[in-house]
Structure formats: structure tokens, C-alpha cells
């Protein structure tokens, strides 16, 4: 299968087999990006399976629409723009039932990271970080130029696990008074300066990696989005369908692991409840341990090194779920 230019999808064979993709099944790819997993799912579900490909980034959606015109995909690939938190609504509007399940391949694509005008990288022309630049939400520049120092340090600590959160936040606040932050390089240089001051020697990865990750998570409310999408999958997926999530850092993976574990418990009622009213387990965990790329994949695609794939299956459960948000 030809590889989509610019972004190498990770754990493709593992996703296809883990989702038990087979002819005729319908899937939602909630983070379709450059269409790598979508193509693989379409290929495994041929001749009559379908994939609803969703992405929050309008430029990814434009590319997906082009892919969907390929004669091999036509009629079988549906494309929609939106946050995956709305996938239930999108599917309902299109009359699409994901009989096979859904996939969330979290984070951002290499195309988004590498294109200076996409606003994500260390050399981004705009300090933006919104997946959807048309969304009316504060940008990374808004957060960096306006947040009080304590709140900014909290963001860096919580979402970036940044050990120098406070000194970096203080340096940002000091410098923004002279000149507001507008570009990725400005911010990256300040963080690099704080690292040099504290550690002296250069680090293996770019010192601003954690800061950029933290701001991206905060701008897009990424952790809240994952929680919301996992909850909506419980009512979106029919019994027997599967959900696969690929995460790239421990904050994301922890949410997925705990969610699957919680809904696979024999009973979720409070321990002092007189009788069980929760309806019993809702999911079966398919991957006891996360599936990770092998050495060959990491050698071929360095960005796959942190990927972790977890899969769960919706059980055949008669009790309607009381939705929690
Ligand atoms: C790692 S890439 C996915 C790559 C894709 N699996 C492929 O094979 O090309 C993650 C994608 O998720 C999208 N994304 C991130 N958060 C999203 C959200 N909340 N809703 C929908 N798409 C989102 C990004 O725009 C990006 O295209």
C-alpha cells in the first residue's frame, strides 16, 4: 500500500488486526490526519466496508477529501471536519453506525509539526497551536502573553511535566513585557536560555519540547477531549465493536488505561451500595499491556518510538449505560 506523503502512520498492522477489521465492517477514524490508518482500514474492509474519517484540522480534511476521490475509496470513505468529541453526533447525522469500532491516533502529524505555517513547531511562524485555526479558542500566544506567572507554571508542570516550569514561566513573563511572543522561535530561545542557565550542557532533545507540548495540550484541551471521546464511544459503539487508542505520552496513556480499566470492572457501584445498579462491566480490555512498535518500526520512523496502542471491546450488555461526563 502506498505510504501517504509526509506522515508515516504508526502500528498500522497492529491497529488493523487489533480492531478485527474485516470485509463489510464500518469504522470511525477520529483522527484521520493524512489518511494512513483510514486507507489500511478501507483495504482490510474491502469490498464493502466503510470508514468515516474525521479530523479537527481543516487542511487535513481537505487532503482527506482528495484521498476519498480515489476510485478505490470512493463511496466507502466519508470525510468530516470536527473535534472527535463530536463523533457521535457526526455519525448520527450521517446515519453511520461504526459496526467495527473506532480509532483515535492522538497528538499531531508530522505534517503539522514540520510545516512552519502550521503553527506547531519550534520554528512556527505563528505561536498558535490550535488544531483548527478557525476555532474561537485562545492560541498559545494568548496564553504565553496573558497568563499570570503561577498559572503558566502550572500549565508547564501539569501538561509538560516540565521540571523547570517556574523559572521558564518567570522568564516568559519578564520578557513579554518588553516584547510580546509571536513566533515559535522566540519562545524556544527563551526556554533554551533557562535550560542553559540551570544545566549548562545541551540536552539530547530540544529543551522546549515539554513547554511546547504543555501549551498545545492546554490550547486544545486535549486531555478533556480524550475523556469526552472515550465516554461517547461507550454509547456510540454497538456491542462487539472495538475502540483503539494510540497515545504518545504518559498523560494520554494514563487516561486511556484508567478508563478501560474502570469500565471493565465487574461493578462500578459505590462500595456501600446495597445492590449493583451499574449494569456490570461495559468493556473488555483486549490489550492487557500496551502494544508498542518493534525495533524495525522505530528505526524506520523515529517518531513512533513513544507510541502505545490500547484496545477495548464493547461487551454485549443489555443494561443501558448511564452516561457520565
Ligand atoms: C497522529 S495524527 C493522525 C495521523 C493519522 N492516523 C494518519 O495515519 O495519517 C493526529 C491527528 O489528529 C488530529 N486531531 C487532534 N486532536 C483532534 C481532535 N480533538 N479531534 C479530531 N482530530 C484531532 C490532528 O489534527 C492530526 O491530524
Candidate of 42, 131, 223 to mutate for ligand 1, largest count of ligand atoms within 8 Å of Cβ: 131
Cα of 190 vs centre of ligand 1, distance in Å, is 29
Question: Which residues of the chain form CATH 1.10.150.170?
Answer: 119-220
Cα of 175 vs centre of ligand 1, distance in Å, is 33
- Written as nine digits, the cell of 77 is 470513505
Strand pairing report for 283-285 and 50-55: unpaired
Domain made up of 12-106+222-314: CATH architecture: 3-Layer(aba) Sandwich (3.40)
Cα of 31 vs centre of ligand 1, distance in Å, is 4
Strand pairing report for 242-247 and 101-105: parallel
- Burial annotation 174-184 (CB, 10 A radius, 16+ → b, else e): ebbeeeebebb
- Written as nine digits, the cell of 315 is 461487551
Q: What are phi and psi of 275, to 5 degrees?
A: -150, 160
Positive or negative torsion for Cα 139, 144, 145, 147: positive
Q: Which residues line ligand 1 (CB under 6 A)?
A: 7, 9, 30-37, 54-57, 60, 83-84, 105, 107-109, 131, 225
Candidate of 4, 15, 31 to mutate for ligand 1, largest count of ligand atoms within 8 Å of Cβ: 31
- Please give the Cα distance from 242 to 55 (Å, whole number): 20
Question: Which residues of the chain form CATH 3.40.50.150?
Answer: 12-106+222-314
Report the nearest atom of ligand 1 relative to the CA of 225: 19
Chunk the chain into consecutive blocks of 10 residues (it has 325) and report each block's average pLDDT, rounded to whole numbers. Answer: 66 98 98 97 97 97 96 92 97 97 94 78 89 94 97 98 97 96 94 93 85 97 98 95 97 97 92 89 95 97 94 80 52
Cα of 166 vs centre of ligand 1, distance in Å, is 31
- 173 in Cβ contact with 146 (< 8 Å): no
Predicted pLDDT at 4: 43
Predicted pLDDT at 171: 97
Report the nearest atom of ligand 1 relative to the CA of 39: 8
- Residue 141's H or E segment, with its range, is helix 140-146
Q: Please state at what angle helix 184-199 crosses helix 209-220, rounded to 10 degrees.
A: 130
- 10 in Cβ contact with 38 (< 8 Å): no
- Please give the Cα distance from 64 to 58 (Å, whole number): 10
Cα of 41 vs centre of ligand 1, distance in Å, is 16
CATH code given to domain 119-220: 1.10.150.170
- 15 in Cβ contact with 37 (< 8 Å): yes
Q: Please state at what angle helix 165-176 crosses helix 184-199, rounded to 10 degrees.
A: 130
Cα of 9 vs centre of ligand 1, distance in Å, is 11
The DSSP symbol for 118 reads G
Task: Give the residue, by CA position, lying nearest to ligand 1 atom 8.
Answer: 36
Cα-only R_g, the chain:
21
**Helix or strand or coil: residue 241?**
coil
The answer, yes or no, to whether the previous bond of 47 is cis (omega within 30 of 0) is yes
Amino acid at each position: 500500500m502506498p505510504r501517504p506523503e509526509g506522515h508515516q502512520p504508526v502500528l498500522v498492522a497492529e491497529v488493523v488486526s487489533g480492531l478485527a477489521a474485516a470485509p463489510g465492517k464500518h469504522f470511525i477514524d477520529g483522527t484521520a490526519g493524512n489518511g494512513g490508518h483510514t486507507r489500511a482500514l478501507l483495504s482490510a474492509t474491502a469490498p464493502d466496508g466503510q470508514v468515516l474519517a474525521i479530523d479537527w484540522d481543516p487542511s487535513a480534511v481537505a487532503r482527506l477529501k482528495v484521498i476519498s476521490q480515489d476510485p478505490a475509496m470512493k463511496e466507502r470513505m466519508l470525510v468530516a471536519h470536527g473535534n472527535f468529541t463530536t463523533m457521535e453526533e457526526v455519525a448520527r447525522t450521517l446515519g453511520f453506525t461504526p459496526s467495527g469500532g473506532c480509532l483515535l491516533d492522538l497528538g499531531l502529524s508530522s505534517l503539522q509539526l514540520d510545516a512552519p505555517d502550521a503553527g506547531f513547531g519550534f520554528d512556527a511562524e505563528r505561536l498558535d497551536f490550535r488544531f483548527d485555526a478557525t476555532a474561537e479558542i485562545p492560541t498559545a500566544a494568548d496564553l504565553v502573553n496573558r497568563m499570570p506567572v503561577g498559572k503558566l507554571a502550572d500549565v508547564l508542570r501539569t501538561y509538560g511535566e516540565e521540571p523547570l516550569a517556574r523559572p521558564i514561566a518567570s522568564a516568559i513573563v519578564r520578557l513579554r513585557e518588553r516584547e510580546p511572543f509571536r513566533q515559535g522561535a522566540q519562545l524556544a530561545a527563551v526556554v533554551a536560555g533557562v535550560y542553559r542557565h540551570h544545566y549548562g550542557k545541551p540536552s539530547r532533545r530540544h529543551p522546549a519540547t515539554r513547554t511546547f507540548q504543555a501549551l498545545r495540550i492546554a490550547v486544545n484541551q486535549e486531555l478533556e477531549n480524550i475523556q469526552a471521546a472515550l465516554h461517547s464511544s461507550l454509547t456510540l459503539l454497538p456491542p462487539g465493536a472495538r475502540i483503539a487508542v494510540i497515545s504518545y505520552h504518559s498523560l494520554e496513556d494514563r487516561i486511556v488505561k484508567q478508563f478501560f480499566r474502570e469500565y471493565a470492572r465487574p461493578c462500578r457501584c459505590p462500595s456501600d451500595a446495597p445492590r449493583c445498579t451499574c449494569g456490570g462491566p461495559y468493556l473488555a480490555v483486549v490489550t492487557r499491556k500496551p502494544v508498542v512498535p518493534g525495533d524495525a518500526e522505530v528505526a524506520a520512523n523515529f517518531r513512533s518510538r513513544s507510541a502505545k496502542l490500547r484496545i477495548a471491546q464493547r461487551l454485549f450488555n443489555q443494561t443501558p449505560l448511564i452516561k457520565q461526563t
